Every structure is written in C-alpha cells, then in structure tokens.
Amino acid sequence: MAPMPNIASLLKAEIARVARKEVRAEIESLKKASSQHRSAVAQLRRQVSELEKRLQLAQRRGAVEAKAKAAAGVEVSRRFSAPRLAAHRAKLGLSAAAYGRLVHMSGATIYLWEQGKARPSAEQISKLAALRALGRREIQERLTSP
C-alpha cells in the first residue's frame, strides 16, 4: 500500500495556492488604480504648467500695458489702504513727520490717513506709490538732502 500523503501538508499547499491567486487578483486591481492615479497626477501637472505659462504671459502683457499707459501719460489708477500705509511707515522706521516730508505733507495728515479719517487725493496717492517703490537707502537720502 502506498503511503498516504499528509493531509496537513496538502491543506497547507492548497491554502497557499488560493492565497497567491487572491493576492495576485488584488494586486492587479491596485496596479490599475495606481496607474490611473499616476496618469491623473501627470495630467494635473501639465495643466498647472500651462496655467503658469498663461499667468506669466498675462503679467507680461499687464506690465507692457502699464508702461504704455505711463508713457502715454495716462494715469494708472491706484488704491489706497490705511493699514498698508502705516505698515510701510513702520517698516521704514520713520515718524509720521518724516514720512510726511517725503510726500510734502504734514505728520498730522499722515496720521489721519493711517487712521482712515481722511483720504489722500489721486496726486498724493501717486506720490505714496512712488515712495513705496523706493528702497531704504534712497528714502534716507531724500530725507537728508535739502
């Protein structure tokens, strides 16, 4: 009589075979999902790149238009913000009187603008915008020169 195979080893082998089959099926679905996610990420990267290019182009066009308006003498509209004025003056470490000298106004007027109790005229706003474009050294030079 032939020896009977050990039932435990047969069960073990069958369980391993079925488990491998199940794992393989699960891995295939995960591979498909991973591939789809990679494709979606690549597509999103392309979209972001395209949008960044469009943004740069729009910024360049805006800058060119602003330069053209400035060259033509057309006034570029500016917005005024009291907290930004106060922050700029604080950043420079200037008193209201010193800041006022830079834009040919009094220190009290600067305080009123910062508190929102008064608004500068369009001409004064353009002076403030020009002042914001200057660096600390240039501002100090303007304050020390007569």
For the segment 4-39, what is each residue's pLDDT rounded down to a tens digit?
668 888 899 999 999 999 999 899 999 999 999 999
> Helices 122-132 and 82-92 sit at what angle, rounded to 10 degrees?
40
Beta-carbon contacts of residue 102 (< 8 Å; ≥ 6 apart):
94, 131, 139, 142, 143
Tell me the C-alpha distance between 84 and 67, whole Å. Answer: 24
User: For the domain 82-144, what is the CATH code?
Assistant: 1.10.260.40
pLDDT at position 21, please? 92
Tell me the C-alpha distance between 89 and 111, whole Å. Answer: 11
Mean pLDDT, the chain, as a whole number? 87
pLDDT at position 84, please? 92
User: Is pLDDT of 55 > 70?
Assistant: yes
User: Is pLDDT of 80 > 90?
Assistant: no
Lowest mean pLDDT among 44-48, 77-81, 82-86: 77-81
For the stretch 115-137, pLDDT in tens is: 989 999 888 888 888 888 888 88
Percent of the chain with pLDDT over 90: 46
pLDDT at position 109, please? 93
pLDDT at position 75, please? 61
Domain spans of the chain?
7-76, 82-144
Q: How many CA atoms lie within 13 A of 41 on its CB side?
A: 6
DSSP 16: H
Determine the average pLDDT of the residues in 84-106.
91
pLDDT at position 45, please? 97
What is the value of pTM for the model shown?
0.48
